[in-house]
Amino acid sequence: MSQPAVSHKMTVKAASLALLKRIHFYIGLFVGPFIFIAALTGTLYVLTPQFENYLYADALFTSSKGQAQPLSRQIDAAVNAAGTNPKIYAVRPAPHTGDTTRVMFSDPLLGASKSRAIFIDPATLAVKGDMTVYGTSGILPFRTWLDDLHRGLLLGDAGRIYSELAASWLWVAALGGVILWLTGRRKTRMPRKLSEKTEKQHRSRRWHSTIGLALMAGLLFFSATGLTWSQWAGDNIGVLRAYMGWLTPAVNTNLDAQVAAAPADEHAEHHAAMADMPDMPGMDMSTHAMHEQPKAVPVMAHTFDTVVAAARASGIEANKIEIRPAYIPDKAWTVTEVDRSWPTQVDAVSVDPATMRIVDHVYFADFPLLAKLTRWGVDAHMGILFGLWNQVILAVFGIGLCVMIAWGYRLWWLRRSVNTDGVNPVITLMKTWKSAPFTLQCPIFLITLGLAISLPVMGVSLVIFMLIDIVRWARSERALQTARTSD
């Protein structure tokens, strides 16, 4: 016996809801596992700072008493322990009594945004630890592994496709789910007694919808901030921010006052680029620079003392600071506040190491609103903006998202054997699209094309969805034709 097919043409509202249901279904079925993995690994990441402090307590903390030695002597101790011809990338003095000083050395063998850190006891100058640290947040090996797992499944740049896929579709699934809930709740309930399977299906739908509504704001936040970190969509977002003038101000390190500073990149640690490495000969790959490489200048430990003193006198107040030396004669050193909790302290100054003149000063208070929101969004996504509360909130959202996806799969499994609407369960996206009026097809096509260009991973995955759907549509048509013939 043949099953009812879709009417030749639907109303705009009916076609819109039908298309949305199919897209929501495909996102849940095919992208859901990637969103689940991103949520789970992200939750593990934000819950582990305290564990990392415990795991590496010997390197991070010291119980020695006494006056802290000058920063230059601490750096000398790290240089002596680092081996032959080490190049200092950055130094983070001990922010509080009981903390160690972190001296980081660049090492091309470690990969982008990674450096070798030697931890020095400020009082005794003893070496407390020697390990690889990652990014501007300075996370240690265990959380670096978790970060790589969350960002790219430990597969490098190729693995980042999965997280970009999850971020690209998450906001569509969230908004689509709300629309489906708003339209579905208006339906009148059937007075008849429902079967046990149907009741389970309705219960699963209620749980799935309730959790989704409760997490709505967080889902949109994670999707937006995740996209800014992504490989291809993130580049497009960067172009848009540059065009709109929303880039984060960066301190000017050029001693030539006529050369402007390049904008800062909040996600530098997630890009396989050299932008996060110190100013060293050979890093500038422009045609002119390749012909005329400036001669390297030595970096002396005692210069760190005077540069920090100049920065403190100019208004750098945070306990947590990072000093980056320059190995090029026409570049200034930088001293940056790195306390990204609330209230955020990320002011920065550049200092001429020869004269101790302040070359430039960037105040977070003077950042444009969009730059501030970007900074706060990045830090909140990482769970460091509001400390423990930030971690707890992110963990609740992450676990809630995993549970919501699990309920969604349960709903799909139950619906495979339950058909309460009498509608052909094999109705495909292609059938629905063909039944939609042209007044709906045209704007949807243009919006989809724009999103596919802006979010390339979404565009490619949508093509894959369509290919799968075309196969299902063709099989459905053959089955329907066979059924009609048999009748």
pTM as predicted: 0.85
Contacts within 8 Å (CB) and 24+ apart, 333-337: 333/253, 333/303, 333/307, 334/251, 334/253, 335/307, 335/308, 335/311, 336/251
pLDDT digits (tens, 9 = 90+) for 394-405: 999 999 999 999
Record the tokens describing residue 56, joined without a space: 């590496």
Half-sphere exposure in the Cβ direction for 297 (13 Å, CA): 16
- Say what the pLDDT of residue 205 is: 87
- Say what the pLDDT of residue 284 is: 39
- Say what the pLDDT of residue 266 is: 58
Task: Give the CA radius of gyration of the chain.
Answer: 28
Which positions ≥6 away from 269 have C-beta within 8 Å? 113, 134, 135, 136, 137, 276
332 touches 359 (CB < 8 A): yes
Residue carrying structure tokens 């959380």 = 143
State how far the Cα of 278 lies from the Cα of 379, in Å rounded to an integer. 23
State how far the Cα of 297 lies from the Cα of 279, in Å rounded to an integer. 11
Pairing of strands 114-120, 101-106: antiparallel
Q: How far is CA 342 from CA 107, 281, 345, 376, 459, in A?
A: 32, 37, 8, 9, 38
**Rounded to the nearest 5°, which phi and psi values hold at 102?**
-110, 115
- Which amino acid appears at position 345 of this protein? Q
- Say what the pLDDT of residue 132 is: 95
DSSP secondary structure letters along 266-304? TTGGGSSSSTTS-B-TT---SHHHHHSPPPP----HHHH
pLDDT in tens, the chain (487 residues): 334 444 456 788 888 888 899 899 999 999 999 999 999 999 999 999 999 999 999 999 999 988 999 999 999 999 999 988 899 999 999 999 999 999 999 998 888 889 999 999 999 999 999 999 998 888 999 999 999 999 999 998 899 999 999 999 999 999 999 999 998 765 545 556 667 777 888 888 889 999 999 999 999 999 999 999 898 999 999 888 888 878 889 999 999 765 555 566 555 555 443 334 344 333 333 334 444 556 778 899 999 999 999 999 999 999 999 999 999 999 999 999 999 999 999 999 999 999 999 999 999 999 999 899 999 999 999 999 999 999 999 999 999 999 999 999 998 888 776 554 444 445 677 778 888 888 888 999 999 999 999 999 999 999 998 888 888 777 777 777 777 777 6
Residue carrying structure tokens 């993130």 = 234
Please name every residue paired with 105 in a beta bridge, in sequence order, or none if there are none: 88, 116
DSSP secondary structure letters along 405-442? HHHHHHHHHHHTT--SS---TT--HHHHHHHS-HHHHH
State how far the Cα of 102 lies from the Cα of 124, in Å rounded to an integer. 14
- Say what the pLDDT of residue 294 is: 64
SS3 (DSSP) at 139: strand
Of 273, 37, 50, 231, the closest CA to residue 149 belongs to 37
Residues 85-109 as b/e (b if ≥16 CB within 10 A, e otherwise) read ebbbbbbbbbbeeebbbbbbbbeee
Which positions ≥6 away from 15 have C-beta within 8 Å? 432, 435, 436, 437, 440
- Say what the pLDDT of residue 192 is: 60
- Say what the pLDDT of residue 281 is: 33
pLDDT digits (tens, 9 = 90+) for 93-107: 999 999 999 999 999
Of 273, 44, 238, the closest CA to residue 157 belongs to 273
